Structure formats: C-alpha cells, structure tokens
Chain A
Amino acid sequence: MKGYFPLFLLLQTGMTGVFVALDFFLFYFFWEVMLLPMYFLIGIWGGPRREYAAIKFFLYTLVGSVMMLLVMIAFYFYSEGNTFNILTLMDQSVHIGPMTAHNFRLLCWLGLMIAFAIKVPVFPFHTWLPDAHVEAPTAISVILAGILLKMGTYGMIRFCYPIFPDITFEFAKWIAVFGMINIVYGALCAMAQKDFKRLIAYSSISHMGFCLLGMASFTNEGMNGAVLQMFNHGTITAQLFLIVGIIYDRVHHRDLEGFGGLAHIMPRYAVWTAIAFFAALGLPGLSGFISEALVFLGAFKMWPWYTAVSVSGVVLTAAYVLWTYQRVFLGKINEKYKNLPEISWRETVTLAPLALIVVILGVYPKAMLDIMNATLVGINQLFVK
C-alpha cells in the first residue's frame, strides 16, 4: 500500500488542476498528469484483468489528448498575440488565419470534441469504461465515475462551446443524437449485465448521455440540467460503486445471480442501497429527478424527437435498477451468506454524506442552480442569434 496514497494524491492534483486551469497549456498538462497515477492505481491494485484495463484506459485517453495537443498548438499560431489563455480565445476576434475558415475550425472542433468524448465516454468510444471500472478498486471507481468522466463534459462546455459557438451550433444535432444513443444504449447494456459493477458502469454511460442531451439544447433549463446532472451523477454513481464495493468486500464476487434476500441479512445496507438506486432511476424528491427533468424540459424545445426517444431511457433505467434490487436484496435468502456482517460505521460514513446531498438537492436544487445559472446563461447568450 505504500505507493497507493502518493499516487492517489497525484491523481487529485491532476484532477483539481484540470478544473481550475484557465490556460490551455496548463489544462493539457494536468489532463495528462492525471493519466499516470490512474494507470498505476488500476494496474497494481485492480482485479484479475487489471493490466488490460489499465493500458486500455491509458491508450484511449492518450488518443484523445494528442489530438487536443495539435488543436492547442493550432490555437497558439492562429490567435492574435499567440496565446493559450482560454478566456482570450473565447473572443472570436482574436482568431486569425485558418482559424477563421469554416473547415479548419470544424477540424479543430472535432479534435477537441473527440478528446472529450473519449473521456465522457460517448458511444462509440465507451468501451474502456466498463473494463476500467470493473478492474479498478472501489475507491478508484468512485473517483473515475465521480470526477474523471466530468472532465469530458466540462471540457466541452469550457472549450467547444465558447470558443467554437458556430460549429457547436451547427453540429448540436449530433451532440443530441449521441446523447440519445448513450442514454438508450447504456441502459440496454446495463440491463444485460450479470456483473454488478459492470452494470453500474453501463448505467454511468447512460447517465452521462443526459448531460450531452441537455448541453445540445442551448436552453437555460437544458444547460442547467446538464451541469446539475454532472454533479448528481458524481454523488449517485459514487454511492453505487461504494455499495458494490461493500458487498464485494464480504463475498468476493459480483455475480448478480449469486445473491438473494440480502435485505433480511443486512437491512441497513438495503436502505442505503435503496436511496442510491432510487436516486439513480430518477425518483422525485431525490436529486437525479431534478436534473433529468430539467434536461428533458430544455431538450424537448429543441429536439423533440430525440428527447422522446431518450425518455425511454428513464423507463429502461427503472427496469434494470429495480430488477437488480430484486435479484440482490429480495427473494429467497441465499444460505451461503446467512451470516454476512451488517454495514460497518466506516462504510456508513462514506455513504451518508453523499446520500444527504442527494436528498438536499432533490428537495432544494436551487442551492446548486444558483451557483451555476449565471455562467450557463452567459454561455447560452453566445447561441442566441
């Protein structure tokens, strides 16, 4: 374990850096710094196929980030005053040379978009995520789902939207389409899983689709919903991964068919799980509902058909979440696990704050919305023609 915590802190450094950097070069720097500890954390402390998962994660992300590198260099040369400053680059008048030509801008936009899409991950770049999640230790899964994935959607809002508003607007349809695919495809995949953690990983892909759909709407509701969904996904999915980790610690497998009747054996654990599960399926009163509702509200104005299809994702989510709950917690008690110890105080302490946030934001989302609304309205102004 000697190496674990230094690497964890290095990961934290990289992640914090990505979100606070206002300089493209610095952003890229932290973006890459984060890869290395993640590779080792999955590769050393992971499950049986950890080596495969670790290198897959590394290679996928690097493909995206080298494209980002080229775009970054292009910005340096084709901006007035050769700057990496993101705030300056938002001003369209500093773009010079080829950066004002439509096709070149499209190419740069695509480069950035693919880099971020791999991170989100957007279908068809998503295959690294289930592998990484399944093999990673619980704490790393939580970080991966809670924070790392948001770097992708954050990047889109930070770079693609304000720096290339014209191209973003032109291709918003495709963002919405891919959001829709993510929602429905992720949910369908989740439904087919036999492995508890893999199921959560696919549900994570599905939930990130809501962010894309909301972002594609260019309405205040949709954008707010998308960003709120990023936050909510971080709290809800983190809980789900912790829950998987708790049971895995006790029985050392994650086969959904191998449990049964756990609610009788570990009632308190069943309650915590229920909170997280219901939040994931969007039960009113919990935070997941607010963000999904906002996303649909906004997206429907712009893309009624895609939104209509996406709503089916909510039904599918309810289906696999409830079905999972049924298989694991209800039904006949599996004799093998009759004496499983109840959830410990340490595990409760990790779950309780997250659950508290989920409930608070479900009842009073204004607390979050107030913080981000002004910024998002400002970004939306770019698209009001």
Chain B
Amino acid sequence: MPNLASMSFFIPELILSAVALILFIFALVSDKAGKKGEYASVIAIAGLLASAVFVLKNFNIGSPPLFWGLLVLDKPAAFFKEIFIITALIVIIFSQRSNELRAGANDSAEYYSLLVGSVLGMNLLASANNLLMIYLALEFVSLMSFILVGFARGSSRSSEAALKYVLYGAVASGVFLYGASLYYGLTGTLDIKSFLTISPSPHLTISLAGLFILAGFLYKIAAVPMHAWCPDAYEGAPTPITAFLSVAPKAAGFAVLMRVFSAAGDGFNWPLIIAVISAATMTFGNLAAIPQTNVKRLLAYSSIAHAGYLLMGVASGTPRGAEAVYFYFAAYLVMNLGAFLVVQIIANTSPPLMGGDIGEGGRESLAAYKGLGRRGASGAILGITMTIFLLSLTGIPPFVGFIGKFYIFAAVMDAKLYWLAFIGIANSVVSLYYYMRIVKTIFFDEPADAVQPAFSSRRLAAILGVLSFATIFIGLYWQWLSNIVAAVIA
C-alpha cells in the first residue's frame, strides 16, 4: 500500500508521536512548577487511550501491508499493541506516586514523553515486516528504555544500570545488524517473507544469519545467553520502569520474534534452537533467583524464567503455541505488574534502612518484608496481595498464572516436545521455592520493626485492588480471554 493511503491505518502511531512531541514542548513552556508531572501524565493517559481506541477500530480489517510492506497490520500486532498500551497506562499510574521519580527528577514531563515514545516504538516493532524496520524499531525502543532506566537522576545505581543496559544493547544490535546484512547478502531483500523463496535447505550461512538475528530478539526478551543485562537494569531502574520493562518490551520482543518465526523459522532452523534456549532460560532464571535477597532482583530473575516459559510456546511452533503465548502475556501483565506494585508501595513507605537513600539498600531487600503480614491491616493486605501475585507467577490455581501455564504446557505437549514439558514442570517446582521464600518472610518471620506500611496514595491502593482482583477473577473465569486470544489467531 502506498504511503499516503497507509496513513489512515497509522492513526494510533500518529497520535502517540503527537503526544510525545506535545509533552516535550509542554515540558519547556509550562510554568506549573510542582504540578508539571501530574499534568503531563494526564496528557499521556489521554493519548494512550485514544491510541488504544484506534487500534481496536483497526482490529478487523484483515492484514494490509502498510508503507509498501514495511509494516503489516494484522491481529496479533493489534493484540500486542493493546498489551503495550495497557501496561503503559498502569505504569503511568505507578509513576505518578513513585517517590523515587519524585526525588530524582522532580515532576518532569519528559519522563511521560519517553514512556509514550517507547510505546510508539513497540507498536512499530510489533507490526514491522522488514528487517530494516525491525532494526529501527528495536533501536527506538532500546533508546527510550536506556533513558528511562537511568531516570532516577540522584541515584548512582540507576545510572550504572542504564550504562550496563546501553553497553549490552549496543552489542546486541550490532550482532543483529550483522545477521541482517548476511541475510541481505543471501537473498537480496530485507523483507522477511522472501526468505521462503530461496532454497529451503538450511546451510551454514543461512543458519548463521538466523542465529544472529535471533540474538537481537533474545536481548529484547532477556533470554539466555543475552540475559546478563536484565538483573542489573531491573534492580537499578526506578520500580515503575522495572515493571514496565518486565512486560512491555518483552512482549514487543515476542511479537517480532513470533512474526519472523512464522515467516522463516523453519528455514533458519529455529524450532530446535528456541526449544533449547527456552529450557536454558527458565532453568537459569529459576536457579539464579533462589539466592537473591533483593526482591526486585529476584523478580528480575523470575522474569527471565518467564521468558523461558513463553519461549516454550514459541518453540512448539503451532497456532496453539501462539495462542498460549498471547494468553500468557495477558496473565503475565496482571500478575507481574501487581508484584512490582507491592514492591513499590513497600519501598515508598518503609522506614529508611541502611543509608536511607531512595532505592539504595534496605527498602527493596527481603529484610524489609519481614513480618509484613503482621504489621497492621495495610501490612496484611499488602502481604496477601503479594502472595496472590507470587502464587500466580508460580502457576498455582485458582490464579490466572495457572491457566496461562496450562495453555503453554498443553501447546508443548501437543507439539510432542515431551522433554521440554518435563523441564518446564521441574522449573515450576523450583520456582515455588523462591516465591514462597518471600511469602515465608512476609507471614512467618518475626517483624523486624513495628512500623506499619501505609498506603501512601489511594490511587495505588485502587490499582492494587484491581490487579489482584483480575488475578483471581481471570483465574476462575478465563473463557472470555481465551475467546479473545482465539480471535487473534483466527
């Protein structure tokens, strides 16, 4: 489809670009000192909602190739765009009441602009249909993420995390580019569909190109062996950004990985590679999470493990597998954001331990959770909701994580990858141990101090309620979500 005709299908992205730019200008011209961040967040929310509406409007229009085939607008892309937008909306609400962000970069409109820009990049990534476009979108998302990770300006930990993230990112995109250039040399095109036209028998160069391209995606989803940045970046980033990174860019990575996989996966010899990577990723993530004492870092490793579970769905290579991945992302969004929200609330309200600086030391450590369940009503509520999210992450019914895992395992069994399913269940058991370690600390340990955590804001309490309700509700009544996912595949 020619450029001008494509524009009418490009409205969601146009809205996001406009909002991002407006927010930058707003940051310059506004004189509402102290209230700037609040206003900016409202503008961002409005922009994201408008964009979400237009994405939905385009849900049923088939899959037209836009801009001469650089982008394609199909249902999986629309589904993932909604995931990004919902994640961003929730994270914006987290950010409005984050002490880390307030202290470091007091009320800046740029923060929200970057967040919206990041969603724009991910939208492009989810519908990219051409290696050049994929590269640009990957870089776009990465650049936004680098800045966001380093946004707590007062914190040296945050800057360190951002630097590590940048260095790894540079290597990963270099490798990806190399793979893409090999691919271009072999096929003379950057369109991912055209791979099928050349010889289907994989020989070394093609496999190599495929492997390098894959490495770029693995970086985005934080899978072994491209995972090393993840724990540091997650730990150092402001908590709302950690929550954001653990869901949205990962979803974007999966969106593009699955698109390339379905177009050219067999030619690249990917199914087996991804199955092996999946097994390695979840095993590494779960084992490395066991000794962690910082809850954010623990959740970072857990998110690596979850990337492994999700890769199982991709490795199965069937529509059922794709369906499972889509479902799991919806589930993962709810429970993972919930877990990070509890971390944020506790870090916000815990008494200053060890230096007392924001984010440095005690407030995110497991020690801050000691006896939380017995520290007053709000402590008990935080403890119970955290337990719900963690059990859901483990995959215990009646929470939504179980249904997600059930679909993933069903897809793997359907694809007859029995060994992978076996590794998967073994990992489920391992993961129970470290998730339960947090629950144990919350309910069984003696409280270290009598300070009762308080809900610093009604807004966070409300969103916590919504997320934990959704975790249980979808866990008991998931048919509607599975219908939506089935519609995405159809």
Chain A contacts to B: CB under 8 angstroms: 28-29, 32-33, 35-36, 39-40, 43-44, 50-51, 54-55, 58-59, 62-63, 66-67, 69-70, 73-74, 76-77
Contacts and interface: CB of A to CB of B under 8 A. Distances in A.
Q: What bracket does the count of chain B residues touching chain A fall in?
A: 20 to 34
Specify the main secondary structure of chain B where it touches its partner. helix
Contacts of B391: 36
Interface in B367-401: 391, 396-398
A351 to B, nearest CB: 31
Interface string B402-427: 10001001100110000001100110
A44 B444 contact: yes
A43 B429 contact: no
Nearest to B422: A70
Contacts of A43: 440, 443-444
A69 B409 contact: yes
B425 A66 contact: yes
B383 to A, nearest CB: 10
A51 B444 contact: yes
26 contacts: A29-B397, A29-B398, A32-B397, A32-B402, A33-B397, A36-B391, A36-B396, A43-B440, A43-B443, A43-B444, A44-B444, A58-B432, A58-B436, A59-B429, A62-B429, A62-B432, A66-B425, A66-B428, A69-B406, A69-B409, A69-B425, A70-B409, A70-B413, A73-B406, A73-B413, A77-B413
B433 interface: yes
Nearest to B427: A66
B413 A74 contact: yes
Given A73-B410, A73-B413, A40 B425 contact: no
A54 B432 CA distance: 12
Of the candidates B391, B413, B422, B428, the one having the most CB atoms from chain A within 10 angstroms of its own CB is B413
A63 B397 CA distance: 15
A40 B413 contact: no
Nearest to A60: B429
B432 A77 contact: no
Contacts of A63: 429
Contacts of A54: 440, 444
A75 to B, nearest CB: 10
Interface string B440-461: 1001100000000000000000
Contacts of B396: 32, 35-36
A76 B410 CA distance: 9
Given A33-B397, A58-B432, A70 B444 contact: no
B329 to A, nearest CB: 20
Nearest to A32: B397
A28 to B, nearest CB: 8
Given A55-B433, A55-B440, A59-B433, 18 more contacts: A28-B397, A29-B397, A32-B397, A33-B398, A36-B391, A36-B396, A43-B444, A44-B444, A54-B440, A54-B444, A55-B436, A59-B432, A66-B426, A66-B429, A69-B425, A70-B421, A73-B410, A73-B421
Given A73-B410, A77-B414, A39 B436 contact: yes
A50 B444 contact: yes
Of the candidates B391, B426, B433, B444, the one having the most CB atoms from chain A within 10 angstroms of its own CB is B444
